[in-house]
Structure 1
């Protein structure tokens, strides 16, 4: 088929097409305008429902090779030493590998809350060292936030980087405060002596 035949065939095909009366075409959605007020209220309620006090704002950076350690006043030196040496039985574990900061924030808050509710005294959080990140600005980011967040949680009494056999500088032992129930049980146990 030559180009003259193609042109005449095309002309035959479009011969019955009529011109549009409107010169403008509206591509927007039809229907009533969207009321954004309910959406704004829902977003506000969601923010208020987020009881998580852990902040994702500025964090003081720690290096992948830094040891994390913290002890509230009132924690006995012997207790902290045993925690640091990994001599307490680990009752719960949280692994934050491959988590974003936002995901880690949620997980840490929920984990701490669960530990307190279940009378867990010693746990381990595996955060990774953060030394394999290609971007130097985001190295040890989760580790840095763990260092900040654990200090911000009232239920955390102390924490320390783990022993090598528990993950070393990529993990942290966490000592949670005793619940009132556990405190009463300890008191009763010691009274029977």
Structure 2
């Protein structure tokens, strides 16, 4: 105790008027933060999940048809008989990059009235880590089902990439529907 008393011997207590409490930082405007967070949420409306995905085999055939798609239309898609209007290549992309690219690609296709596209994802059978095999292919299988704009998809024909690519049939836009309706009314 005597050592402590020696150290604090010359210290005088502050008068109450001399005490100054300063807030750290500026006042927080929660309304501004709330609106900034809302803008960020609206800016990233990509709802495609990058969490768990059910793995598919690198040699598996991918196929999906939403209810309402005619069997003949799906058969022509499966056979590669529709003209491919747009293409996305995901080789050498990470899952996060592929997620952004697929979402933006579908949005761009709809904006440009594209009905049939192809996504080249690769088989993913050359990856040294067995847990990472066909990872992008597995996510493509999940993401395309999660996108309401995708009416159907099927593994491509060999000359278009085979098991490493998928044909995608997209929903008609209102503009395309109106054009079809007008075309059929002229007959």
Structure 2 length normalisation: TM-score? 0.80
Residue-by-residue CA offset, 1:94-114 (whole Å, 9 max, x unaligned): 000000000000000000000
Structure 1 residue 44: deviation in Å? 7.3
Q: 1:82 aligns with which of 71, 76, 85?
A: 76
**Structure 2 CA distance for aligned equivalents of residues 119 and 75 of structure 1:** 18
- The equivalent of 1:140 in structure 2 is 134
Closer, same or farther: CA 48–191 of 1 in aligned 2, 3 Å? closer
Question: What is residue 182 of structure 1 aligned with on the other side?
Answer: 176
Structure with larger Rg = 1
**2:161 maps to what in 1?**
167
Q: Aligned residue for 1:115?
A: 109
2:62 aligned to which of 48, 57, 68: 68
My pick for the range that moved more, 71-80 or 42-51, is 42-51
- Aligned-residue Cα RMSD (Å) equals 1.8
> Once the two structures are superposed, what CA deviation does each residue of 1:97-144 show, in whole Å capped at 9, x if it has no partner?
000000000000000000011100000000000000000001000000
Residues 43 and 136 of structure 1: CA distance in aligned 2, closer, same or farther (over 3 Å):
farther
Structure 1: runs of 5 or more not aligned: 1-32
Corresponding residue SS for 1:175? strand
* Equivalent position of 1:154 in the other structure: 148
Distance in structure 1 (CA, Å) of the matches to 2:45 and 2:112: 19
Aligned residues: 158
Instruction: Give every structure 1 segment of 4 or more consecutive aligned residues whose post-TM-superposition deviation is greater than 6 Å.
Output: none
Matched, 1:191 2:181: no
Distance 2:97 2:157 in 1: 25
What is the distance in 1 between the residues matched to 2:47 and 2:173? 20
Give the structure 1 partner of residue 43 of structure 2.
Answer: 49
The TM-score, its normalising length taken from structure 1, stands at: 0.77
TM-superposed CA distance for 1:48, in Å, is 4.7
